[in-house]
Amino acid sequence: MDQSQKLTPRAALVVGLIFVASGIFPMLAAFDIGPLSQEDINGPPWLGFVAGGVFASAGLGVMAGPRSSMAANLFGLLSLAGLAMIGNWIAFGAGERVCSGSISLPLMWTETDFSGLGCRIPFGLGALITDAFLCYLIVSMAQKALGGPPRLARLLKAAEWLIVASISPFILLLAVIGIGSAVVGALKTRWTTGAWPQNEAFIARQKAKGLLGRFARKPPAETK
């Protein structure tokens, strides 16, 4: 892969302007200016300003491009900080929370509203992950500004562990789902066939290794 897949300066300008234009209207709505108003914001006025700022910062970062990496990183930091502010307000802010979502199951799909903890917990997990990545980005940018490693190496390592800790609930959930599905599959096989499932390919490989091992240990024939 060469660098031909990167955005050209003109394409970066167009994409960036689209993002900036998408963020202007929510930002103006925070001040009751433009086609949107504060009543259209599902929360305090500053929430609309921050939400629009996420898009505007992302667009400015795209326009800055790799030629101005420091500016691109700063705009990326602002965009990520905006996402963190929104997630933390939904998860931990005062007041009632009502979220809309959908549940997809085999042969069934439905939309429902979640309130209270049902709304706060998912956003809380997402907010913690965003906070962890934000801390890592801040420390990483500070390390580069100070001249690179080994400065702030321990703090950067702590930020990495913070990311691992923030995503550990999802890793644990995936592990439980994987183990649970394997157990259910084994029980189903036992119920239908009367025998526990076996990994035939693994057994065949082990038998082949054992056979080769016996041939390898066989002493050479004596020559007369």
Q: CA angle, corner 77, sides to 49 and 99, nearest 5?
A: 50
Q: What is the pLDDT of residue 97?
A: 84
What Cα–Cα distance (Å) separates residue 137 from each residue in 70, 73, 134?
12, 9, 5
Q: What is the DSSP letter of 218?
A: S
Q: What is the pLDDT of residues 191-220, one digit of tens each?
A: 988 887 777 776 677 677 765 555 555 555
Q: What is the pLDDT of residues 125-178, one digit of tens each?
A: 999 999 999 999 999 999 998 988 888 999 999 999 999 999 999 999 999 999
155 vs 88: CA distance, rounded Å = 23
In the chain, where the domains are located: 3-165
Mean pLDDT, rounded, for 185-191: 87
Strands (E), the chain: 98-105, 108-115
Mean pLDDT, rounded, for 85-90: 95
Q: Cβ contacts of residue 31 below 8 Å, gap of 6+?
A: 45
Q: What is the pLDDT of residues 43-74, one digit of tens each?
A: 899 999 999 999 999 999 999 988 888 899 99
Higher pLDDT, 115 or 128: 128
Give 101's strand partners: 112
189 vs 195: CA distance, rounded Å = 7
